[in-house]
Amino acid sequence: MKLNSIYSRGLQTGWAEACDGDKKKPILLCFHGFPDDPISWDAQIKYFAKKWHVVAPYSRGVGRSEPCSNQLQRYSPESAVLDAADILNHIDPNKEKDVYVMGHDLGVVLAWSWARSYESRTKGLIMIGGFNLEQMCRRLSWPRQHLKSWYIYMMQIPGFANTLLSALPKPMQKLATILGDRPEAYTTLSGAELAQGVYQYRAFSRKIKTALQPTKRKLKVPVLSIWGSEDAFLLPPTQTELNKDAHDVTIRVLTGNHWIHREKPELVNSLIEEFLNANRITKNTRESVTHRKTTNARKSIPKPSETTV
Amino acid sequence: MRGTNPLNPQSLKRQLSFQEKMQFDETAFNWQGGIDLEKMLLPLDKENLVFPGASKEQRIALSQLMGLIVNHTISEMEESLPKLKYHAWEKVLDLYPCAPEVRELGEMFFEEEAKHARVFGKYMHTFAEETGIDLKDLKALLPSAYGSQFQKRVIKNAERGGHAFWWVVTGVEEVSIEIFHAMSEHKQEIDPLFYQIHEKHMEEEARHANYAHLMLNLIAKSPYGKAIFRKKDLILGQLLPIPWVISELSKIKNVKQFAHKHPFFETLASTLPLMSKLSSIEILRRIHMSAPYVSWLINPTWRRYHHSPSRNLGSWRMPFPKHDAVDQGKRYSVR
């Protein structure tokens, strides 16, 4: 796994990247959640690097991604998508590769935003233990979800959460372990990095008004949603809930916690691989689609002798 | 019996592929061979609990009627399943869609139940044809679930978000399996076609009981749904069939009006005075406590597989009177 960075719209933006052998493979874009970093995808990066070009950006303010707390907009989903687009333009300047996007926790918001913005290029979306903003906003009427999401409200209080997380990073991360059964610390973010996550929550909450507007169209990208049954922070989705936002949704609930991709990496990897393979457009299928489109296009152009004046 | 864990994708996939491989074809039975009318359909208890002193001819007629009753009961219950499909199944899966395989297994479950209903119905038609009995007269003696209070209560419970349906299914599947075990000990005395149908039925019911337990597991694990249904639906599922079974069994008294139409009905009508040797209370007691097939369905103490799912769901359990044999851990005995 390599760590890289570029300047995206004036700010350093970092990512982890892994690709064994041929770099012409399709891209698997992985957005991590809070309080995590791309190393949280360690098991997936190692597994999928053989057949995919895995790219896992750092969220704004974490690791190699420069913080920008005086511009809350840079923590919004749209900005994260633009940062990821800049990363992919660097890796794949000709935009030849298909993109499959995956998110965990808050990263699902980013993954969904990516899929909406680049729907034609995205061939599959995997959500692990997270929702898009529209779903989260619909859950404002669910009392049980409010109880589980108490920490989001805490983060909206200016100064409070930042101070707490900066001053007590280890106890706060330990709290996540106790509350959410987070697997053994594979990475420890610094206080400053933890505090950056608060800005993400604040930036997302400012999108509530937009998110509450009725969704105009459903996502056509196939979606796989994976959940741990013992998720301490989010209730698993219902089929009706996800069918409101996407045409083709498969939901899988496994015995496990919020960090199911860390708790059961082999099982989760096999389910992801099954989904990716089922939705992978290979060179052959792409050629046959192109041939069909080209042939149909040729048929529609009249021969010069047939044109009338 | 433990249902497959609905949160375990590998075991779900294994179950799905096994079930696809092992489904029976309803055309594969030896319908051309017909029915051996000299043979029993269900072996009866040696003690003649409800018809003390019955002769050999009477026992054969009773056994054949009992076999048709069992077939028709299962067929009626299984035919009414599609009415409950949405409320009892689709809504549950919609609330907690844990895996696509659970849905596929469920579709298979409902298709196979419809297939069972067709096969049992065909047996009844074949029996009527071979004996020359008017099918309408025969059906007057057999249980009917359609429009019954039993069916209405189960549907209402499902519409409100309850799960009594799945408790009823586990009971019926378990009894179906035990009926075949009882038959298997007397294979030579039983009509071969009837035996063959129940053998195939039992194999699929074993998988269906598994699916009913899987659904109960799913309901136990789901964070949605009302707790009150988890508490009370076991008792409801155990109590609802009782009045229906008893009232449908009492249809045998109607046989008097058909006695002049066919020797089969005449023989059956001749057994009614045997019943009158016992008081109604005694008949009910025997039916409830130890009558083969019937008590297995209406007395939950005979059913062993409710304990584990009821613990998972935290269901209330009602004490039912027990037969000594239940305490001794004996299997259901016929003779």
Q: In the prediction, which pLDDT does A307 show?
A: 33
Query: Which string of DSSP letters, residue by residue, matches B172-208?
Result: HHHHHHHHHHHHHTTGGGB-HHHHHHHHHHHHHHHHH
What is the separation of C-alpha A140 from the centre of its chain, rounded to a whole number of angstroms?
22
Q: Which residue of A has its CA nearest to B101?
A: A252
Q: What value of ipTM does the predicted structure carry?
A: 0.81
Q: Which residue of A has its CA nearest to B10?
A: A267
What are the CB-based long-range contacts (under 8 Å, 24+) for A167-171? A167/A191, A169/A194
In this complex, do A252 and B94 lie within 8 Å of one another by their Cβ atoms? no
State the Cα angle at A151 between A146 and A153, rounded to 5°.
70
Chain B residues with beta carbon closer than 8 angstroms to that of A253: 7, 96-99
Residue A300 pLDDT level (bands cut at 50, 70, 90): very low
Taking CA atoms, A242 is separated from A25, A222, A245, in Å, by: 30, 12, 6
In this complex, do A238 and B223 lie within 8 Å of one another by their Cβ atoms? no
**Nearest CB to A255; choose among B7, B93, B223:** B7
Contact B24, B200 (CB under 8 A): yes
Taking CA atoms, B180 is separated from A220, B71, B74, B208, in Å, by: 50, 12, 13, 15
- Spatial separation of the C-alpha atoms in residues B296 and B70, rounded to whole Å: 12
Residue of A205, A200, A171, A203 lying closest to A61 (CA atoms): A200
Percent of chain A predicted with pLDDT > 70: 88
Q: Which residue of A has its CA nearest to B220?
A: A229
In this complex, do B9 and A237 lie within 8 Å of one another by their Cβ atoms? no
Structure tokens at B26: 């309803």
State the Cα angle at A86 between A80 and A90, rounded to 5°.
145
Q: What is the amino acid identity at position A30? A: C
Helix, coil or strand: residue A250: strand
What is the separation of C-alpha B217 from the centre of its chain, rounded to a whole number of angstroms?
21
Rg (CA), chain A: 21
Annotate B62-95 with b (16+ C-beta within 10 A) or e (fewer). Answer: bbbbbbbbbbbbbbbbbbbbeebbebbbebbbbb
**Nearest CB to A235; choose among B97, B99, B223:** B223
Percent of chain B predicted with pLDDT > 70: 94
Contact A38, A27 (CB under 8 A): no
State the Cα angle at B94 between B88 and B95, rounded to 5°.
90
Q: Which residue of A has its CA nearest to B94?
A: A239
pLDDT digits (tens, 9 = 90+) for B63-112: 899 899 888 888 887 778 878 899 999 999 998 888 999 999 999 999 98
Strands (E), A92-243: 99-104, 122-128, 223-228
**Nearest CB to A239; choose among B10, B93, B223:** B93
Structure tokens at A237: 């989705």
Q: Is residue A274 less than 8 Å (CB to CB) from chain B?
A: no
Residue recorded with tokens 């039992």: B202
Cα end-to-end span (Å), chain A: 64
- Spatial separation of the C-alpha atoms in residues B217 and A162, rounded to whole Å: 42
Q: Give the helix/strand (H/E) hosting B295.
A: helix B294-298
Query: Which residues of chain B are at the A interface, by a Cβ-Cβ cutoff of 8 Å?
Result: 5, 7-10, 93-100, 221, 223-224
Q: What is the amino acid identity at position B124? A: M
A window 180-219, beta carbon within 8 A of B: none
Tell me which of A187-191, B33-37, B112-116, B223-227 is least confident.
Answer: A187-191
For residue B86, the distance in angstroms to the closest alpha carbon of chain A comes to 14
A window 223-242, beta carbon within 8 A of B: 229, 235-240
**Nearest CB to B94; choose among A238, A252, A255:** A238
Q: In the prediction, which pLDDT does A281 show?
A: 65
Residue of A44, A120, A33 lying closest to A77 (CA atoms): A33
Give B6's Cβ-side CA count (13 Å radius): 29
pLDDT digits (tens, 9 = 90+) for A221-242: 999 999 999 998 999 999 999 9
Q: What is the amino acid identity at position A58? A: Y
* CB contact set of B92 (below 8 Å; sequence gap of 6+): B163, B215, B218, B219, B222, B225
Q: In the prediction, which pLDDT does B326 show?
A: 57
For residue B92, the distance in angstroms to the closest alpha carbon of chain A comes to 10
pLDDT digits (tens, 9 = 90+) for A238-277: 999 999 999 999 999 999 999 999 999 999 999 999 999 9
Chain B residues with beta carbon closer than 8 angstroms to that of A271: 9
In this complex, do A267 and B223 lie within 8 Å of one another by their Cβ atoms? no
In this complex, do B97 and A235 lie within 8 Å of one another by their Cβ atoms? no
Chain B residues with beta carbon closer than 8 angstroms to that of A237: 97
Contact A108, A30 (CB under 8 A): no
* CB contact set of A66 (below 8 Å; sequence gap of 6+): A11, A12, A13, A60
Dihedral over Cα of A275, A263, A238, B98: its sign: positive
Between helix B164-184 and helix B149-159 the angle, nearest 10°, is 130
In this complex, do A238 and B95 lie within 8 Å of one another by their Cβ atoms? yes
A226 burial level (CB within 10 Å; 0-12, 13-18, 19+): buried
For residue B227, the distance in angstroms to the closest alpha carbon of chain A comes to 14
pLDDT digits (tens, 9 = 90+) for A104-150: 999 999 999 999 999 999 999 999 999 998 888 888 888 888 888 88
In this complex, do A253 and B99 lie within 8 Å of one another by their Cβ atoms? yes
Length of chain A: 309
pLDDT mean over A172-188: 71
**Nearest CB to B96; choose among A144, A236, A267:** A236
Contact A238, B95 (CB under 8 A): yes
Q: Does pTM top 0.95 for this prediction? A: no
pLDDT mean over B325-334: 52
* CB contact set of A116 (below 8 Å; sequence gap of 6+): A219
